[in-house]
């Protein structure tokens, strides 16, 4: 097998592994790349990250037929809306639900997942939590 074929195979394995699970160490084991190479080189390349996203979409399409996907999306949005609107839910859960809804409708891009910067440690002084009224949330969600 030629060197280029080996690299293409390793890259395909890394893309597939990261599409299924964002665990870089597991992807390294599967693909034969080092964890440092995946994290330091591959995940910094926009075309590599785009290949992961495309593979995730392929996996989603394989997992659920088109009609079923629509139902799953509708159910998921309804669940997120219920969490967002529940005054007894934790603030973090309400914020995460609002972010997920915004992301679903293209208004918010999360940096979570492969290639995302690591979260900073929490400061010892907690920051104030933002609370949204239903009118504010409606405006945010468009």
Q: How many domains in the chain?
A: 2
Does residue 74 fall inside a structural domain? no
Domain that holds residue 30: 1-63
Residue 106 lies in a domain: yes
Task: Determine the Cα–Cα distance for residues 5 and 46; give it in Å rounded to an integer.
Answer: 21
Q: What is the pTM of this model?
A: 0.49
pLDDT value, residue 21: 87
Report pLDDT for 46: 93
Return left, alpha or beta for 45; rule: phi > 0 is left, psi -120 to 50 is alpha, else beta: beta
Confidence of residue 123 (pLDDT cuts 50, 70, 90): very low
pLDDT in tens, 61-90: 777 666 666 777 778 778 888 888 888 988
State what percent of residues in the chain have pLDDT above 70.
62
In a domain, 108, yes or no: yes
């Amino acid at each position: 097998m030629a060197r280029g074929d080996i690299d293409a195979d390793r890259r395909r394995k890394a893309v597939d592994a990261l599409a299924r699970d964002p665990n870089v160490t597991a992807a390294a084991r599967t693909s034969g790349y080092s964890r440092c190479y995946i994290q330091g080189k591959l995940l910094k390349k926009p075309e590599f990250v785009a290949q992961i996203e495309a593979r995730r979409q392929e996996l989603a399409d394989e997992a659920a037929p088109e009609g079923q996907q629509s139902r799953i999306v509708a159910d998921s949005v309804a669940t997120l809306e219920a969490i967002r609107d529940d005054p007894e839910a934790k603030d973090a859960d309400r914020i995460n639900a609002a972010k997920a809804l915004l992301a679903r409708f293209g208004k918010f891009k999360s940096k979570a997942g492969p290639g995302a910067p690591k979260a900073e440690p929490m400061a010892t002084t907690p920051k104030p939590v933002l609370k949204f009224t239903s009118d504010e949330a409606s405006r945010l969600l468009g």
